[in-house]
Amino acid sequence: MEFIKNKILIIFCLVISTNAYTQNASKIFYSYLLDLNNPSLAGLTEQSHISLVSNQTYDLNKRSYGYENLYGSYFFENYNFFLGYKLSSTHFSDIGLNSMSNDISYTHKVKINQKFTLYPSVTASYAFPISLSDMLLEDAIISGSQSLDPLYQLNEGKGYLDFNAGFLIKNDKFLLGLTINNLRQANTAEDSENVSRISRNGDLVFGYQREFNNMGIFVIGSYFHRPSINKEITFSSFRLDQEIVLKTIKINVFEEFNMNTFQTGLKNIGLSLRYSYEHFDIGIGYRSPLGTNAFNKENSFEAFFRYNFDFRDFLSNLRWDENTFF
């Protein structure tokens, strides 16, 4: 029972500290879903879309968790702004822990000069109360009444509203993006005498693209700063993506590095494939662990589907095309 409690508390710290953006540094298709973490990055391609992402992860003991995201953005080109939306769900099957959040974002396009474009954004995020639907605690089983265990407070928690802000700046070859989440540092404690504030966290990304005769390359490095409610514990990480673009086919290889309280060094490697046809994008991906420690034994599978409202009648080997008109 004590082991289960410790496990839940660790997961709870992770879920709470990252809930506003389900901190999708872990997504296999992260490099293609950049605006999922930072809505400013919808400006990278300026395409209106609706997307569905589903992931399932298993460890060596066949315990599993997963997440689903339904999200998208619409570009009001005549007014130079985007409206974005996101519905996220995360579930830990073996302990019955579930969380959900809903986001609405606004991104504005500012043409600085012929070379650079800036996209600042602001997001309102509501996280629903965390649910422990399948957990049976010892005192509740013995007494037949409501548990007095502190873990039961997870079921008694409250939802909260918080805000995020970020930006993207790009030219025809480079991109730089930053987002800071949980600006309000909402208090998640139901008891007014206690304070349990969400920690601020952030993402920093830097990318480069180049086109050759028959292909393009896209490389992006991302740092994810993830402190938990307990200031002494962090879940920060770094990710490096290398992508080959062959017009309708995109092949991405990535490496994930831990930079947290429990581990440092290479954690996972992964591969994803995407195919584009007219308005549609589909993809499948896989991530495999490296190492033998307890936090590093998970295999993940992910699939995504996207419908682009804007149909491009030309094929490019670049991830984005920058208009130099000013």
Q: pLDDT digits over 112-134, tens only?
A: 998 999 999 999 999 887 766 55
Which of 58, 47, 57 is closest to 24 using CA atoms? 57
| 242 domain residue, yes or no | yes
Mean pLDDT of all residues in 262-270: 86
Mean pLDDT of all residues in 213-218: 93
* Phi, psi (degrees; rounded to nearest 5) at 56: -135, 130
Q: How confident is the model at residue 65 (pLDDT cuts 50, 70, 90)?
A: confident
| 320 domain residue, yes or no | no
Cβ pair 36, 256 in contact under 8 A: no
Q: For residue 302, what are the CA distances in angstroms to 38, 147, 174, 248?
A: 20, 37, 28, 20
* Res 259: pLDDT: 84
| 93 domain residue, yes or no | yes
Q: Which of 53-62, 230-239, 290-299 has the lowest mean pLDDT?
A: 290-299
How many domains are contained in the chain? Answer: 1
Query: pLDDT higher for 325 or 312?
Result: 312
Which of 301, 302, 306 is closest to 277 using CA atoms? 306
CATH code for the domain in which residue 268 is found: 2.40.160.40
* Phi, psi (degrees; rounded to nearest 5) at 134: -110, 5
| 101 domain residue, yes or no | yes
Mean pLDDT of all residues in 196-220: 92
| 298 domain residue, yes or no | yes
Spacing of C-alpha 156 from chain mean position: 26
| 326 domain residue, yes or no | no
43: CB partners within 8 A, 6+ apart: 82, 107, 109, 117, 119, 168, 170
Q: For residue 217, what are the CA distances in angstroms to 34, 208, 222, 245?
A: 17, 8, 17, 6
CA–CA dist 281, 319 (Å, integer): 14
| 315 domain residue, yes or no | no
Beta-carbon count within 10 A of 87 CB = 12
Q: For residue 195, what are the CA distances in angstroms to 12, 59, 190, 229?
A: 16, 34, 9, 10
Q: Rounded to two decimals, what is the model's pTM?
A: 0.84
* Res 63: pLDDT: 66
Mean pLDDT of all residues in 258-271: 85
Q: Is the pLDDT of residue 10 over 50?
A: no
Q: For residue 6, what are the CA distances in angstroms to 11, 129, 150?
A: 9, 20, 12
| 250 domain residue, yes or no | yes
Q: For residue 42, what are the CA distances in angstroms to 66, 74, 106, 287, 304?
A: 25, 9, 10, 25, 17
Give me 300's structure tokens.
Answer: 């993940």
CA–CA dist 181, 18 (Å, integer): 9
DSSP conformation letters of 130-183:
PEETT---HHHHHHSS---SGGGGGTT---EEEEEEEEEEE-SSEEEEEEEE-T
CA–CA dist 216, 201 (Å, integer): 32
Q: Is the pLDDT of residue 46 over 60?
A: yes
Domain that holds residue 104: 2-308
